[in-house]
Amino acid sequence: MSTTLWIILAGALVTYATRVGGHLVLSRFEHVHPRVEAGLNAVPAAVLTTLVAPAALGAGPVEWAALGLAGAVSLRGGLLPMFLVGAAVLIIGRHLVG
């Protein structure tokens, strides 16, 4: 087997380990401590924020407008409307501003 193939398969294995591992480790405990539960409750917002914040900081006015408007829509509407608004602002803005 080539080195490339090994890299891909090892990468797949460690990735699957991360996806199944959290549950396997946590399910060993009978009771979840309230602090652990509070921490786990914070996981989605905490992780997803890190995929937005640095990208937003390194972007420009068009991207900020897209994020801002999409963010405003997301407080009222669902995920799909906010996404479509954001994408539209982004594409139109980039055509206008270049």
Q: Residues in the site for other proteins, rule: CB under 8 A?
A: 3-12, 14-16, 18-27, 34-57, 59, 63, 66-67, 70-71, 74-75, 78-80, 82-83, 86-87, 90-91, 94-95
Q: Kindly report the number of other CB atoms within 10 A of residue 13's CB atom.
A: 9
Considering only CA atoms, which of 56, 53, 54, 66 is closest in space to residue 96?
Answer: 66
CA–CA separation, 3 vs 30, rounded Å? 42
Least CB distance to other proteins at residue 36 (A): 7
Least CB distance to other proteins at residue 9 (A): 7
Encoded amino acid at 72, one letter:
A
- Both tokens of 3, joined, read 């080195």
Least CB distance to other proteins at residue 24 (A): 8
